[in-house]
Amino acid sequence: MALRELSSLEKYLGLKKPNKYSTQGDKKVPVLQNNTGPPLVGLVTVACHLVKEAKRPELLGDSAESRAVVQQWLEYRVTKLNNCTKDDIKTILKDLNMYLQDKVYLAENQFTLADILMYYGIQPLIVDLAIQEKEQYVNVTRWFDHIQHYPGIRRHLSPVVVLRNRIYTSRHH
Amino acid sequence: MALNLTINTNNLPLGALLAAEHVKDSVPVSVEEGKDNRLHVSDAIQFNDVNSISRYLARLAPALGLYGSNMMEQTEIDHWLEFSARHLCGQPGLAEALGELDLALSLRTFLVGHAVTLADLSVWAALKGHEGWPSQGKSFSHINRWFSFLSSQVPFSAVGNKYANKKA
């Protein structure tokens, strides 16, 4: 999973030469053997390295505040979203739905690496949602649909059908 | 082909100015102040309706996709241009129109398709120029998210800073 994600990220960033990765332990933590330094371990560490290699530092946030927000969601991705149980899913979607109420992207009005990795991580959960649930978490669904249509992002993932108009309009979110 | 847009500062055509700002790299348009709002294409062809001016400018730069990418999107865009002219420009019943807009925006980042179009320009401009918008807008969270997102994007902030503040 993580390796396909990193290879999709490489393609989005336009990195010409694909890196070779290995994995570590039974949680299959990705490892990048670097030519110039020690090996890099962990999804977020490697992803941030790729962003810098592609000279796209704005994807990590362009102010002190947005950089902190990006790191917060990257950590959320690996600590909360990875290996979450069925019970966790509802809490995650509820929290994310509240958070995204007044934001287009996770870092307010700016598209960042946090959106990409959260999208890759949450796609398997969204695929399984019923139409009613997609409307219940309406802000998550809007954000998700926007990111999956963002140029060059979707790659290895299948598209999720999102209705453009609400059906259950009387239901309050 | 030299396009010239004349604007009346007492009745700013914000939507037309936004369209001109979006297309400026592919379609140069000079802007000057005058008695009325008018796009001068040639001595024989002139447009004075804001939506007509925006449509014409968008069609001159099809690669930008401001007029959508298929017939369905074009129709949706026409719907929103008419919606902003009929329901958001000074008429009574603003709350009802805002309710409809809020519902439409609940699952969308942009009004039509997945990128900015004339629909966003026109509706944003109508709200920006509307006296009732900031006070009545508080309870419409989806409109607020969409409005402040667009306001932070370059062509919108450029036009907002250059023109909208002149009115005050």
A102 has a chain B CB within 8 A of its CB: yes
Phi first, then psi, for residue B30 (nearest 5°) are: -90, 145
Task: Classify residue A66: in a domain, yes or no.
Answer: yes
Q: Containing H/E element for A73?
A: helix A64-76
Q: Which residues pair with A24 in a beta bridge?
A: A29
Kindly state the greatest CA–CA separation across chain A: 58
Query: Residue range B119-143: average pLDDT?
Result: 91
Task: Classify residue A170: in a domain, yes or no.
Answer: no
Q: What is the pLDDT of residue A107?
A: 97
Distance CA B129, CA B124 (A): 9
What's the whole-model pTM score? 0.92
Chain B residue at shortest CA distance from A101: B141
Q: What number is the ipTM of this complex?
A: 0.89
How big is the A-B interface in CB pairs under 8 Å?
A: 41
Task: Classify residue A156: in a domain, yes or no.
Answer: no
Q: Tell me: pLDDT of A170 over 60.
A: no
Task: Classify residue A125: in a domain, yes or no.
Answer: yes
Q: What is the pLDDT of residue A173?
A: 45
Q: Is the CB of A166 less than 8 angstroms away from the CB of B107?
A: yes
Question: Phi/psi zone of residue A123: left (φ > 0), alpha (ψ -120 to 50 degrees), beta?
Answer: alpha
A4 has a chain B CB within 8 A of its CB: no
Q: Is the CB of A109 less than 8 angstroms away from the CB of B149?
A: yes
The SS3 call for residue A52 is: helix
User: Nearest Cα to A95, choosing from A112, A117, A120, A118?
Assistant: A118
Task: Classify residue A103: in a domain, yes or no.
Answer: yes
**What total of structural domains would you count in chain A?**
1
CATH of the domain at A130: 1.20.1050.10
Structural domain of A92: 2-148
Query: Residue range B89-107: average pLDDT?
Result: 90
Query: Residue range B48-59: average pLDDT?
Result: 95
Task: Classify residue A166: in a domain, yes or no.
Answer: no
Task: Classify residue A53: in a domain, yes or no.
Answer: yes
